[in-house]
Amino acid sequence: MGGKPAGDEAYGKPVKHDPSFRGPIKSRGCTDVICCVLFLLFLLGYAALGVVAWVYGDPRQVLYPRNSTGAYCGMGANKEKPYLLYFNIFSCILATNIITVAEHGLQCPTPQPVLQSLERELCPSFLLPSAPALGRCFPYPNSTQFEFPGISGNTSINQGISGLLDSLNARDISVKIFEDLAQSWYWILVALGVALVLSLLFLLLLRLVAGPLVLVLILGVLGVLAYGIYHCWKEYQVLRDQGASITQLGFTTNLSAYRSVQETWLVALIVLAVLEGLLLLMLIFLRQRIRIAIALLKEASKAVGQMMSTVFYPLVTFVLLLVCIAYWAMTALYLATSGQPQYVFWAPNASLPSCEAAPLNASCDPMAQPTNSSCPGLMCVFQGYLSTGLVQRSLFNLQIYGVLGLFWTLNWVLALGQCVLAGAFASFYWAFHKPQDIPTFPLSAAFIRTLRYHTGSLAFGALILTLVQIARVTLEYIDHKLRGAQNPMARCIMCCFKCCLWCLEKFIKFLNRNAYIMIAIYGKNFCVSARDAFMLLMRNIVRVVVLDKVTDLLLLFGKLLVVGGVGVLSFFFFTGRLVGLGKDFESGPLNYYWLPIMISVVGAYVIASGFFSVFGMCVDTLFLCFLEDLERNDGSPARPYFMSKALLQILGKKNDAPPGGTRKKP
């Protein structure tokens, strides 16, 4: 008799018992070989791109300024002349291309000499006190208040250049920052060490305090929601008595105005009340699953304690990510500076009748002098870099290839970390007698196994995620470019597309993460692993939701605890409010005490995120293993459970002792 499959069978059949299964499969073969070959070929092309960029690029065009002859300041014959002097700074202010640092450096249509002649009218007609910024000489903002004709609005020198100096000349600030870091670097390292110790202690103590801590956090959320309901009710009462209604306000783009109408607080009250009710119902009807989630958190804490090397694996991931980003940045910089410089004739008063016969915009030699003296101020200036070569004509496509390489390699490195950690933690769960049956070097074995057999599968999952991320970046770029020309309907459609791609990226990350866990355990290809993981999770969807939210709440509290603790300690220490310790700064108080505080807080957040990412991966891996354990085994002597005794007690299950009363390894 036909019909739809009932219950959980709609998402596949439960996993059958395999008597030969002993945790992560050791006898496995290479998976997704085609994708592995494509990834390796892509990396070869990425390396070739770096070689091409190295051969044709010249980052000196960005790092060092050039004078009007094309010579670099501070290099070669000009080694003792590191600063570029603009004859007429107002030409820079009035020109349309004031700053083109991204590709051509800071360019200015005015003579920029090393040695020139006053008699040939190639020297500046006036000099101002100046200071170096980015290798260029800029006048002090308050050096003089003399005004010069020919500038729109008769703007003073101070008004004309102060904005330019504010953005470029940070020498004094840089020196003070360097001094502060020189005095406080040791204590910043101490603060980061405190963050590391706090993160580690938090994870290890979860086996003791996970239950009470989760209960306190849930009660805290209930308390916050209850206070929110009370506050909304009081505001609603006051505005209702005053008769403040949305009908009187009407429609307005000033969102803060809606705080003064009673309907706003009524809607907020209803939303908070619904959330409060849902949370209470969850505590009542899902308390068993919450207990399972807490037990898995405790088990994850034990796993991390048994394999302490896993908490330092994020350092490997961080180094690999840093290499990928640095390689892309250098390649992009060299590509952007490929090509030979091009010079053209330019005149500040090109509209004068005497300049009609001048060869304006024609190519010229910066070392030669203009022969047409009838046009005042005619000079040979830098325009840009030639784009006639093969590399220059393909520059955009090469940059796109580089961006694709950046995203793909970054996602592959992250996938490698997830799969390696999953293999290590799966070895812990499927060890029947813990810790005796745990492999000696589970992390190293998982790393070698993943690189040897599953590079292609990781590249496959990383490529899917990369394509979605590039689509999001492209959409953001289009939205940024067309933002001023869009009508409300177009903005709404664009917002919907961006929201859909954001949701798709989140789903793919979730699917990839669980697929990598299945790859680490069973050694199957990406598609099969993703399907098996998705079906297994859908057969236990309620447990998935409860565990996910409980874990998120706990890790959020842990991050707040670590980052907040380090931030408070850093504030009291670097501001000198801790008596005695502040005297360690021999040169006096810091110029910017917020700088070491900010570095300590950001560093603490990075450290806590790294530790807790390992813990989160451990929880997800043990959870999938737990679900597989429930489907594979039944507690009989031939099919005993691998889960901990605490989980067995929560589920009301037990392992039956074999004949003779001794529990043997399956």
Given a contact cutoff of 8 angstroms between Cβ atoms, the answer to whether 426 and 520 are in contact is yes
Instruction: Inform me whether the pLDDT recorded for 88 exceeds 60.
Output: no
Can you tell me the distance from the alpha carbon of 383 to that of 375, in angstroms, rounded to the nearest whole number? 19
Segment 206-234 mean pLDDT: 85
CB 59 within 8 A of CB 333: yes
Burial string for 145-172 (b: 16+ CB within 10 Å, else e) reads eeeeeeeeeeeebbebbbebbeebbeee
Q: Does residue 322 have a pLDDT over 50?
A: yes
pLDDT over 50 (residue 27): yes
Chain segment 630-649, per-residue pLDDT in tens? 888 888 888 888 888 888 88
**pLDDT (0 to 100) of residue 286:** 78
Q: How far apart are CA 191 and CA 604, in angstroms?
A: 8
Q: How confident is the model at residue 387 (pLDDT cuts 50, 70, 90)?
A: low
pLDDT in the model for residue 212: 84
234-267 pLDDT per residue, tens: 888 887 777 767 666 666 555 566 677 777 888 8
* pLDDT score of 124 more than 70: no
| CA dihedral over 428, 431, 433, 438, signed as positive or negative | negative
Contact indicator for 377, 428 with CB cutoff of 8 Å: no
Instruction: Please tell me the predicted confidence (pLDDT) of residue 342.
Output: 74
Instruction: Between 548 and 352, name the one with better pLDDT.
Output: 548
Distances from the Cα of 123 to the Cαs of 118, 269, 376, 550, 599, in angstroms?
5, 73, 14, 72, 47
Q: What is the pLDDT of residue 167?
A: 47
Confidence of residue 583 (pLDDT cuts 50, 70, 90): very low
Average pLDDT over residues 310-338: 88
Question: Which residues have C-beta within 8 Å of that of residue 657, sequence separation ≥ 6?
Answer: 637, 663
Share of the chain above pLDDT 70, in %: 70
Q: Which residues pair with 85 in a beta bridge?
A: 137
Q: What is the pTM of this model?
A: 0.75
- What integer pLDDT is reported at residue 98 of this predicted model? 35
Quote the pLDDT of residue 5.
Answer: 39
**Region of 590 on the Ramachandran plot (φ > 0 left; ψ -120 to 50 alpha; else beta):** beta
| Chain segment 457-479, per-residue pLDDT in tens | 999 999 999 999 999 999 888 88
584-620 confidence digits (pLDDT tens): 554 456 677 778 888 888 888 888 888 888 888 998 9
pLDDT band, very low/low/confident/very high, at 81 (cuts 50, 70, 90):
confident
The pLDDT of residue 413 is above 90: yes
Secondary structure of residue 305 in the 3-state scheme: helix
Beta strand 136-139 with 130-133: parallel, antiparallel or unpaired? Answer: antiparallel
- Between CA 137 and CA 419 the distance in angstroms is 53
pLDDT of residue 121: 47
Question: What are 479-531's pLDDT values in tens digits?
Answer: 887 776 667 777 888 888 999 999 999 999 999 999 999 999 999 999 999 99
CA distance 171 to 160: 20
Q: What percent of the chain has pLDDT over 90?
A: 20
Give the tens place of pLDDT for each residue, 552-573. 888 888 888 888 888 888 888 7
Say how far apart CA 379 and CA 383 lie, in whole Å.
12
d(CA 493, CA 510): 26
Q: What are phi and psi of 91, to 5 degrees?
A: -65, -35
Strands (E), 376-469: 379-385
Mean pLDDT within 21-50:
90
Q: How far is CA 320 from CA 313, 529, 604, 611, in A?
A: 11, 25, 20, 17
